[in-house]
Structure 1
Amino acid sequence: MFLLAVAVYFLLACLLSWLVLFPAGRELLMSTLERAGLRWRRRFAAMAQRQENGALELQRSGRAQLAEWGAFLRRHYLLCGAGLALVCLPPLVALLVGSKPSLRGFEASTREINPQVAGLLEGEQLVPPPALPPLAFTTAEVQLARPMIASASRDWAMLDKAYAQRLLMAFRIMKERHGYEMALLEGYRSPERQNTLAALGPGVTNAAAFQSWHQYGLAADCAFVRDGKLVISEQDPWAMRGYELYGEVAESLGMTWGGRWKMRDFGHTELRVAGVMKR
């Protein structure tokens, strides 16, 4: 390997010396490079000419094809119009007479709204219950069940007014009829927070920004209060029974309950308003 390198170096040194010392060598090198450049220019020119000819041929062919189609349409315009109508009419009719599409991925509630409770919503304006102390949302049990819940918004004023009244009515019914005191865990959720929670994985949420009703003030996560402490875990039989009752009450008020979803969210309710969420 060393000898080969020495031989190559020697040949290069001889070639360089020849070019430097002998004008004939320089002339030979320049003429060789000039002939090579000329050959390459001719090749490139020939390739460009072929491409130009191909483009012109393709253009002529396309114009001829369009002319043939135009002549066909002119000769058979009635047949073509009938075919176009047959293709367009069925989806147009289905679009006009069909019902509005619903959100996918959720089970629709079939429960009827309780007319008496619905009447109450049109009259008395309910007020939010006293807020729990911030420390109630920082216990180990709460943080395990609801990651990052301590920094969540619990401002009732940021919720849609109609939804807030339904949710407060659910709180009243749960307390007066079933003996469960309830608390708001999270109401409005910013798009940035929604993306942060989505990054934690499907165990927290499957929805990205603006794919959740939280961003529109039309959803809330709630839990129960027992002896002054939040109870969220579904492993607690008392809490699980409360979630079942809460779902019945929420649906009777026209809300959607997360306990019927494939990825169940027992403390979640939302009020779906047509034309709000774009999907």
Structure 2
Amino acid sequence: MRRRLLPRLPVVLPAVLAVLLLLLAVAAPLAAPDDPAAGHLQDRLLDPGSPGHLLGTDGQGRDMLSRLIWAARASLTGGIVPVAVAAAAGTLLGVAAGLGGRVLEQALLRSLDVLYAFPGVLLAIAVATLLRPGLGATLLALSVVLTPAVARVAFTEVQRIRTAEYLEAARVSGAGPVSLVLRQVVPVVAPVVLVYCSSLVGLAVVYAAGLSFLGLGVGPPTAEWGAMLDELRPSLFTHPWVAVLPALAVLLVSVVFNTLGEALRHRIGDTGARLPEAVR
């Protein structure tokens, strides 16, 4: 029994931590000790460990622990939703390019290469700049950034299996294109995309925080880790322990999801789905 459990531990630990982070975000109204928007100027910039404020307060006297917990909602939404959209859209485009013939393949891949040619950060900033700042701009910008990379991963996997004997057998037996894709191709491509996308969540959270830090994403008074970093930036040299807390939250989420992605990759097998340059 012990031997069976040991190989699973590298996957179980980051998976449990990821679930706990999600539960914390969902249960923010119950988990947060104070109102994240209620400030008291007489209590501004208290250090961690102050009475009644375990992690101190920000420049407006708002409880940092409460704001960090509430900020997990916006920050994790900005990380998970774009990855889910990119997973669906990228898989669809990758499968279509892999099975749709030479003309469709070249049309889709060359179109994606236009987006793929830009560094991910700059592309996210460019898309977000065209939109009204807010969570919607963050979700759309990151979806555009991540989709080409996921499509390449899906396309590479489809290329590997499209001449497989079981696909030829399915075609000969009369399986239509939709049935072929849903029953034969997607079950093979989905685990590869899942493993790859699990490691993209941490990257998306970092990007979302960066957009909010630049004023292109979620802005005050909504609690969001990137926006909190921007608000606390003037206090970095006078109250560094308070100012770095949102950055530590972003770091924690990034490490958890990157570790989960690596653990899944080793658990399922090395799929070759490595992080493309365009989204590094």
Name the structure where strand makes up a greater proportion of residues.
1
TM-score, with normalisation over the residues of structure 1? 0.22
Structure holding more helix per residue = 2
Structure with the bigger RCO (C-alpha within 8 Å, sep 6+) is 2
TM-score (norm 2): 0.22
